Structure 1
Amino acid sequence: MMSPSTSSPFVPAAARARIAQLNRAQHPLSYSKLLERDTLQKALKNYKYPVLTLPSEVTSEIFVHFLPSYPKRTSFVGRCSPSLLLQVCREWRDVALATPELWSTFEVEMGYRDTSAVSTRRQLLLVEWLERSKDCPLSVELVCPTSESPAIAAALLDALVHHSHRWQDMKLVIAYQHLQRIAGSVPILRDLHLDAEWTDNPSPLQSFTFHAPSLRQLGLNAGVHFNTFKDVFPWSLITVFNGDLYEHEAALVLRSARALEQCKIMIDSESEETISVSPIPPLHHLKSLTLESEDAFKGHCWRMAIRVC
């Protein structure tokens, strides 16, 4: 008969297997078998898994290591989501919900063919995770470009903007007409990648306020319309830049971002004429510079990469 003893450790899986075997018996169990089953069931009920004997603080720290390393982020559902921790047992659920760091990094992607129910569910999850993250700095990738549901995209962005004082590392892929929604102060933002998708006849932003004193890494794509942002970013503090710019915009970045360490720019040709560019002063902190250009109409491209040891 299997039972816990001092000579052999109690193995829950083996106990459950033995109970299942006894329950499958085709004839009534003998007294000894009934006693064996009752003993195993009582032992299972009283058994305390070693992992559940850890202090909550230790379990919480282990859970945090479940998160992927930046710049990777978790998803609301799936094998890499901390939501799985809520399904293991009551103890783990309580610890996970009491660990705000678990819910402070995530990605949200709105698909073009999402149904209304799917979009609404995603919006509810976004709000839920933001509440669970409490006051933790946020690392979020939000992809809600131009779609058939601009209202849902705007609602997702507005929910996130409500916590912009906690933005730390952000990747935003949004429709151009929604850029004005992110205006404001982002005091702890250190890394921003901004990707705006053009719509038909977009109205240019007349003014834009974006106070980001801690910003050090910046990525911009062509749809962002550089002129809107050229006077709002702390260029003198930017150390890493990745962008899609016209020639004169690229020159402006290289003249203004004097602290640059890494820079990669895809240069879009503006015209057939040669453009006069003011001299670019020495970039004393620069470690790598990559300039690329591709002319889709002429079918040629060039790339220049410089690495400073």
Structure 2
Amino acid sequence: MAFPLTNGIISLPTETVSDIFRFAVAGVTPGFWRPIPALSTAPSLQTELERVANAPLLVLSQVCSQWHEIAINNPTFWSDVEINGVLGHTPGVLEKAIGLLSARLKRSRDAPISVSLTCEDDGKPPHTRIFHLLAQHSHRWETAWVACSLEGLDTSVLNGRLPRLKDFQLKLPFATKLETVNFFGITPRLVNLSISAPLLRSESLAVILRRRQLRSFGCVVMFRPEFQEVISMLPRLPVTTNEFDLTMDLNHRVFQPHWSLPLHLPSITASISTLTLSSAFEFHPHQLSEVLDQVLASLTLPKLLQMRVKCGVYPKCVWEWPHTQFLALCERSGLGRCLKTLGIAEVRTAEGDLLEILSVLEALEHLAVGDDPRDLGEGESLLLTNSFLRAMTWVPARDGLAPRLSYFDCTSRLRFTHGLVVDFVESRLGRSADALFHLRFHSLLQSDAHLDSVVHTKLCDLAAHNKHFMYI
């Protein structure tokens, strides 16, 4: 039965077969392990060896000579290098890993490569031999993601040898010596940078800021004094830096009581256009909300176009929405006239608060919201209700909320009259002949509920016959 399928694929253009291979391999390869204990389990040695070998692609390469040619001789299939520190635990595994990595780098030829390094214990570096093998190809690094220690490694081998590096994420342990990471300042094409807060004081960052080339900057914050450092540096970012990402790595297991005290952050005006606030690990919602409250209270962002709040352990935990401080930020920054995107699907907020926000944000085009993922039972407070959908439905006789809204992303328990969704969509499309509207509607991960089949079919038909409407 496999031969007709094989013959059919053989008749396809090489580019099409390559795309099929890419999707097939991605579909069976386990996600690269990120050190978030609440969500992840440590990887097995076999899994990580197969990842370096690109085992699924090797299986496809054995089907026939044409597939072998496509799989082995396409450098882009081999250009993503993901290494977990577990590969250096024993001499035998290390030798296998070195052999497989050497073969992978050889097959990637001269293509730009993406390098990811992590370890179950953030305090441990990758094995020296693995690091230096990758460093020999550093002139081809285009993106790099490092979430482990670099202590004990000769990182000076990277000095001046990262001519292609554009995107760099560097999450290092708190006690990292700054001289260990002085190499990343010698990166002439670097435009996207994310670092741990201790690296704010590195000479490499000072060099990057003087060159005024960054488009996006992110920082991971763990300790109290780091917030002042991060917020204070916002005005020093180059004028080219449009995006700022603040990740709060406040693990509730080590969360100190003094975090509930005021941070005394400076009042800062910054010209960034995109603000992303993220959390990692499990956290105490109330304490993190207080921190977020103080961060928003310190900022004035008159050019802000996009704001997103992300929770790294959603739906296990959710943010508490700092409603009062957000409204104050809107008022002093004039966000009603400029904010176009608001992503708060992983935030717990009340229906009334959300409606008040939407009454202020007249320029809003993209909105992502969601119900609380916790099943609160009878009397639970839902965000997406009949009254909310009616309030969002455009009626010519009255001023509607978010008049420019063109994209609505909704995560819901679906405990409302489903037909109101159709009324909501049709009202938005009916505002003008060329009105665009995209709807992404899905139930919460824990919920077995689905949108009513009749309503779902009607939305699908509407999307099929209206080029201005997309239903996902």
Q: TM-score, with normalisation over the residues of structure 2?
A: 0.44
Match of 1:32 in 2: none
Is the 1:215–1:238 Cα contact (8 Å) retained in structure 2? yes
Query: 1:34 maps to what in 2?
Result: none
- Relative to 1, partners in 2 of residues 1:300 and 1:113: Cα closer, same or farther, differing over 3 Å? farther
1:303 maps to what in 2? 292
1:263 lines up with 2:221 in the alignment: no
C-alpha separation in 2, matches of 1:225 and 1:282: 18
Aligned to 2:270: 282
Q: Where does 1:153-302 land on structure 2 (aligned, <5 Å)?
A: 153-177=127-151, 178=153, 179-197=155-173, 204-205=178-179, 208-209=182-183, 210-222=185-197, 224=199, 226-234=201-209, 236-245=212-221, 246-257=226-237, 258=239, 259-266=241-248, 280-283=268-271, 285-290=272-277, 300-301=287-288, 302=291
The 3 A distance-change label for structure 1 pair 89 and 115 is: farther
- TM-superposed deviation, 1:244: 2.4
Aligned residue identity for 1:175: S
Matched AA of 2:137: H
Paired residues of 1:244 and 1:266 also in contact (CA < 8 A): yes
1:141 alignment partner in structure 2: 116
Q: Distance between the aligned counterparts of 2:56 and 2:198, measured in 1?
A: 32
Q: Among residues 77, 86, 100, which one is paired with 2:50 in the alignment?
A: 77
Structure 2, unpaired ranges of 5+: 34-47, 251-255, 297-306, 308-338, 341-472
Q: Matched residues in 2 for 1:217 and 1:188: separation?
A: 12
Instruction: Using the TM superposition, give the Cα deviation of residue 56 of structure 1 relative to its aligned residue in structure 2, in angstroms.
Output: 4.1
Question: Aligned residue for 2:86?
Answer: 111
Moved over 6 A (4+): 72-75, 267-276, 291-294
Contact 1:67–1:102 (8 Å) recurs in 2: no
| Pairwise CA distance, 1:110 | 1.7
- The amino acid of 2:242's aligned partner reads L
Q: TM-score by structure 1 length?
A: 0.64
* Change in 2 beyond 3 A, CA 1:238/1:50: same
Structure 1 residue 102: Cα displacement: 0.4
Q: Structure 1 residues 171 and 293, CA, compared in 2 at 3 Å: closer, same or farther?
A: closer
Alignment of 1:60-75 (within 5 A): 60-66=18-24, 68=26
Show the counterpart of 1:130: 105
Q: Which residue is 1:29 aligned to?
A: none
Whether the aligned pair in 2 keeps the contact of 1:291 and 1:303 (CA below 8 Å) is: no
From the superposition, tell whether residues 207 and 220 of structure 1 become closer, same or farther in structure 2 (CA, over 3 Å): closer
User: Kindly, what percent of the aligned residue pairs are identical?
Assistant: 20
Rg larger for: 1
Q: Describe the shift of the 1:142–1:207 C-alpha distance in structure 2 as closer, same or farther (beyond 3 A).
A: closer
Greater relative contact order structure (CA < 8 Å, 6+ sep): 1
Read off the aligned partner of 1:77 and give its amino acid letter: E
2:428 match: none
For the 8 Å contact 2:79–2:111, the answer to whether it is kept is yes
Aligned position for 1:50: 8
Matches of 1:82 and 1:234, distance apart in 2: 41
CA distance in 2 between partners of 1:85 and 1:293 (Å): 37
1:256–1:65: structure 2 CA closer, same or farther, 3 Å change rule?
farther
2: CA distance, partners of 1:68 / 1:196? 28
Q: Secondary structure at the match of 1:85?
A: helix
Point out where structure 1 has 5 or more consecutive residues left out of the alignment.
1-10, 14-43
Contact 1:168 1:189 in 2 (8 A): yes
Judge conservation of contact 1:168–1:190 (CA < 8 Å) in 2. yes
- TM-superposed deviation, 1:250: 0.7
After superposition, the CA RMSD in angstroms is 4.3
